[in-house]
Chain A
Amino acid sequence: MAKDITKILVTGPFAAGKTTLIRFVSSEQLLSKDVKATDGLARFKAMTTVGLDFGILHVDETLDVHLFGTPGQARFNFMWKVLSRGALGTIFLVDSSSQRAIDEGKKMYQYYRNKADTPIIIGATHRDKEGARDLEVLADGLGAENANIIPCDPREKEDSKTLVLALLQEVIESDMNDEQEELVDDFELM
């Protein structure tokens, strides 16, 4: 029996935790091409992803989820469009302690918001670092005033799971607004 395959995109500026998140959520990680950072980013991060991260989550016998992580540097932005095509949704990670990452993230976020007609969840990472922005400041910085932003640490498996769960709930809610509307009336406090 042929398997259904669906795709979730994990994106965001460099050093946000995309590779780590995919590692935790995948049943198997097939590809992660990390190389030594050679440009200005080397100050921030020793290894960085070029090409893409790729992991598979086996849901059941008839469904696999392919998790694609885009490289975070702007010069790879030609890949964003290719990878976002047909995705169920996008997890957008951003280092909330770095102004450079937030500035870079703004361009990426606007790109995905405009091009992809699928739900996006923002994960604010590096919350334990000095200078981590308030969620409101981060939303302003990304130009994502009405977006859902969830603080998270992708190094924690539960946080990584929560982000994916949040994205899936967004997908379901966006599909089910009609049914929810009908249910509101029946939800009385006794």
Chain B
Amino acid sequence: MMPKKSEKKQTEPSFKHLGVLRKALSQAHTGEIVYKTNGEEEGQIHVTVGDLINDEATAKALKKLLTKSIANCELITERIEEKLESLAPPVVLTRVMNDIHWEAETLEQLKETFSKLPPIDVKMIPLHRYGYSDGLTYLMLYQEALKDEHFTTVKFFNECPFYTSLEQQIKVLVLGYCLGLITPHVATHSAKKEKKGKGKKRMRRTNIASRILDKIRGM
């Protein structure tokens, strides 16, 4: 018998809490991430201008958020800083990510979830400088995305070398997603669209860079 819609919804894992974390960190929010696991455990993580407190309590709460099945999660904001540049070094998240292990079933669920993302762009930051132990897998993700204008997470899963495990791949995707380093692909030529009042010189430079990018990808 087919499960009723409401029953099915309950059993399907949701990773929307990663979106909440992403929003808090990448948009430099100040406030509390409050969540409840499906086992009725509660947790909260304080965020200050997109930064997390580097202490054991925060690391523990973050680890629980990333590894448990989450029933609901929300961000209660106090304020949003105006500039994205205030993105704080991701030391707590990278430290926690080093120690995380997911069950095979959760890994598959995460893989399925990330596979639904549209084509992505990947920004480079030197994660090894923030204590992340597997900067090479992130570098691999970054380089593959550079070479392919229509790079998707599905390609990343399919084309990774044999020595890279699914967990390594998922970890860099979760890290990149939560830190706002993975963004929806912006068609390079749409970058040419000039916004009113924005510098023509800057847009011309973007246009030129986009054209060279396309040329080199095809070489």
Contact = CB atoms under 8 A, between A and B. Distances in A.
A175 B206 contact: yes
Nearest to B18: A189
A133 B97 CA distance: 25
B135 A183 contact: no
Instruction: Pick from A63, A185, A188 the residue with the most CB of B within 10 Å.
Output: A188
Contacts of B202: 175
Nearest to A150: B139
B188 interface: yes
Contacts of B135: 135
Interface stretch (B100-108, B120-128, B156-164): B120-128
A13 B111 CA distance: 43
Contacts of B213: 165, 168-169, 172
Interface of A: 4, 6, 25, 57, 59-60, 63, 65, 88, 134-136, 139, 145-151, 161-162, 164-166, 168-173, 175-181, 183-190
Contact of B16 (A136, A164, A188): A188
B64 interface: no
A25 B158 CA distance: 28
A177 B124 contact: no
B208 A88 contact: yes
A172 B135 CA distance: 23
Interface in B121-155: 121, 123-126, 128-129, 135, 139, 142-143, 146-147
A136 to B, nearest CB: 6
Contacts of B57: none
Given A135-B128, A148-B124, A177-B84, A88 B117 contact: no
A139 B126 contact: yes
A189 B175 CA distance: 14
Contact of A172 (B19, B116, B206): B206
A45 B197 CA distance: 52
Contacts of B180: 184
Given A162-B143, A162-B146, A172 B128 contact: no
Contact of A183 (B143, B147, B183): B183
B215 A60 contact: yes
B23 interface: yes
Contacts of B217: 165
B169 interface: no
Contacts of B113: 189-190
Q: Report, nearest first, the 8 A-B pairs whose CB atoms are least far apart.
A: A171-B209, A165-B146, A175-B206, A148-B124, A59-B215, A168-B213, A168-B209, A189-B15
B44 interface: no
A63 B146 CA distance: 21
A173 B211 CA distance: 14
Nearest to B125: A148
A149 B129 CA distance: 11
B210 interface: yes
B216 A168 contact: yes
Contacts of B205: 88, 171, 175
21 contacts: A57-B215, A59-B211, A59-B212, A63-B208, A63-B211, A63-B212, A65-B212, A88-B208, A149-B126, A161-B216, A164-B216, A166-B142, A166-B146, A168-B209, A171-B206, A171-B209, A172-B209, A173-B123, A175-B191, A177-B84, A187-B117
